[in-house]
Amino acid sequence: MSPACGPSPVSPLARMPFALRRLPVLRCDVLVVGSGVAGLSAAIAAAEHGAHVMLLSKGRLTDTNTEWAQGGIAAALGRDDHPDLHAADTLRLGYGLNESALVESITAAAPEAIAWLQRIGMQFDREPDGSLALGQEGGHRAARILHAGGTATGRELQRALTQHARRHAGIDIYEHAFAVDLLRDAEGEASALVSLVRAESSAPWEPLVFEAAQIILATGGGGQIFRETTNPQSATADGLALALRAGADLQNLEFVQFHPTILYLAGAARHLISEVTRGAGGVLRDRQGLAFMAEVHLDADLAPRDVVSRAIFRRMVETGDTHVFLDLTAVADAGSRFPSLARVCGIFGLDLQRAPIPVRPAVHYFVGGIAADADGRTSLPRLWAAGECANNGFHGANRMGSNSLLEGLVQGRRAGERAAEDLRPRVRRWLSPALAGAMQPRPPGADLNLLDITYSLKSLMTRQVGIERQASGLADAIERLDGWSGYLARLGPFSPEGAETANMVHVAQALTRSALFREESRGAHFRTDFPGVSPAWEAHTLVHPTEDGVRLSQKPLAAGARAGETRRARG
């Protein structure tokens, strides 16, 4: 099958055991799905503009990628810095696929966004004189990274936004609300969402329809599609799958950023190890003790993330090993400088000051997502997207550290504001194009082992759609994914677990087709059979749902984007 086409993903609603028209309905002006930085920012902004907002969280309100974020928030606040310089760095790291006008807009909005966070109570780290502490990270040519609690920026950001949202009278919050699928009205516009809701984690799930004039998806990424990830268990690409099945375009899915170093120990959580450790003098070595990064890149262990991840991967292949080692033994006071890492290593009997620790790359961030414009509008009317689940051209073909929380904050607020301003009257009627009626009986003996499918998916994607890719492996992966998608549609149970599995498979299909479609290597996408950058591919990859499947095509950058990138890069 050509990578430019493929079967239509079938909604989990096709197997729901009840009549859709009989479900209870809750109505609001703006429905926000997701409770990380983008979702909370969108909900607060919409409510502040007078909208009645309902916010859905898959688990607890704080079960988000934002809560887990160890990095900071980038903003040009220093005396020798400027938003134009921040934009230039972002464009340089985007490998030619950034939308330059949007980059300039977001970096220009960063200082005010930080000021807003301080007004609602976020506590940033400060210098002894009381000024904001500004750190410098890879790719940024100025000190512009704000942190909170050292490596607890995400937790403090989540706390401040959550507290502010809970206080707002215009926001109704529903925790433990699992989004199953979007519904469209007779005009083909997004109009409602079917969800499974429960009062607490141990309570039974109850089906419910949320109807809204505007729907904002802010559901985060999909790291759980791969075997090794820094993402929480909830990161199953739900929003991307919902949008795809409803008919919205997805963009640049092939760009998946790997973090080069996670702690790799049997039984241990995949603890992310920041580049700060290598900045302090940590060295990557193979099992024989060879420091291999110096022969790969001029910056050796401080090379860009995609370069370091590929170098580690290749070293693992060459040595037949499952990992390499991060050597911190020469770093003075490593234990006190990196206390959380020292604590985790100590639990498993490792002393990072005495011996190297095992590490390997893991999926960290979905650069691609639901195609969205500068305000968050998608190709499906009344549907918006913000944060990691969206792709608007800000990051380009890779992501510069500490830009993701900034994008979620700025774009979440913009989507919320614009959605609240666009509350047109609507017909109270919605349809489900994927729903035939009642659930069809499952053939005898045809129960699916969802856990086995999930493990098989993770293994396949890591092995054949991971750090390095090539045509035969991608084509084989597509064939397997299409098969799994087919029998999930016929046999998969209507449950959160069944829907999550379907979501991951559906997005994996689109991601793999995108990786096969883009015949070059650029940023976070590397093809061993097309190792160079091709000018013909300086365009976005678009996955467009059709009546009988999906179609892939190139989408040109906005007019002037290339010129803007060149101008800023020279600056």
The least confident of 98-102, 320-324, 337-341, 405-409 is 337-341
Q: Residue 438 above 50 pLDDT?
A: no
Beta strand segments in 275-371, E = 283-285, 324-327, 357-366, 369-371
Contact yes or no for 76/93 (Cβ under 8 A): no
Which of the pair, 136 or 242, is modelled with greater confidence?
A: 242
Q: Residue 3 above 60 pLDDT?
A: no
Predicted confidence at residue 435, as pLDDT, reads 44
pLDDT digits (tens, 9 = 90+) for 153-178: 889 999 999 999 999 999 999 999 99
* Alpha-carbon distances of 236 from 208, 400, 457, 507, rounded to whole Å: 21, 23, 12, 9
Predicted confidence at residue 466, as pLDDT, reads 96
Q: Residue 363 above 70 pLDDT?
A: yes
Mean pLDDT along residues 293-310: 89
Q: Residue 509 above 90 pLDDT?
A: yes
Mean pLDDT along residues 310-331: 94
Beta strand segments in 273-407, E = 283-285, 324-327, 357-366, 369-371, 383-385, 390-391
Within a domain: residue 33?
no
Predicted confidence at residue 467, as pLDDT, reads 96
Q: Residue 356 above 80 pLDDT?
A: yes
Within a domain: residue 334?
yes
Q: Name the pLDDT band for 434 (thresholds 50, 70, 90).
A: very low
Give the DSSP H/E element, type plus range, for residue 145. Answer: strand 145-146
Residue 365: which of 65, 41, 59, 150 has the closest Cα? Answer: 65
Last residue of a domain, one of 314, 342, 363: 363
Within a domain: residue 66?
no
Last residue of a domain, one of 315, 338, 363: 363
Per the DSSP assignment, residues forming a β-bridge with 91 are none
Domain assignment of residue 466, given as a range? 5-12+447-539
Domain count, the chain: 2
Within a domain: residue 59?
no
Q: Which residues contact 100 (CB under 8 A, 6 or more apart)?
A: 87, 91, 560, 561, 562, 563, 564, 565, 568
Task: State residue 39 phi and psi, 5-degree precision.
Answer: -65, -45
Mean pLDDT along residues 482-490: 89
pLDDT digits (tens, 9 = 90+) for 530-559: 999 999 999 999 999 988 889 999 999 987
How many alpha carbons fall within 13 Å on the CB side of residue 539?
Answer: 15
Q: Would you please indicate which residues are annotated as catalytic (active-site) residues?
A: 305
Could you give the CA distance from residue 235 to residue 221 in angstroms, rounded to a whole number? 6
Task: Give the residue ranges of DSSP H helices in 49-152.
Answer: 65-68, 83-93, 100-119
Residue 322: which of 451, 225, 224, 227 has the closest Cα? Answer: 227
Which of the pair, 433 or 228, is modelled with greater confidence?
A: 228
The mean pLDDT of the chain is 90
Count of Cβ atoms closer than 10 Å to residue 208 Cβ:
18
Q: Residue 58 above 80 pLDDT?
A: yes
Within a domain: residue 266?
yes
Within a domain: residue 373?
no
Q: Residue 62 above 70 pLDDT?
A: yes
pLDDT digits (tens, 9 = 90+) for 264-273: 987 777 788 8
The least confident of 118-127, 282-291, 339-348, 402-411 is 339-348
At 287, which CATH number? 3.90.700.10
Q: Residue 309 above 70 pLDDT?
A: yes
Query: Cβ-count burial of 50 within 10 angstroms (0-12 exposed, 13-18 middle, 19+ buried)?
Result: exposed
Q: Residue 6 above 80 pLDDT?
A: no
Task: Kindly state the tokens that stand for 495.
Answer: 């449950």
pLDDT digits (tens, 9 = 90+) for 200-231: 878 889 999 999 999 999 999 999 999 999 99
Within a domain: residue 290?
yes
Give the DSSP H/E element, type plus range, for residue 415. Answer: helix 404-421
Q: Name the pLDDT band for 561 (thresholds 50, 70, 90).
A: low
Taking every pair of Cα atoms in the chain, the longest distance, rounded to a whole number of angstroms, is 72
At 528, which CATH number? 1.20.58.100
Within a domain: residue 490?
yes
Last residue of a domain, one of 339, 363, 387: 363
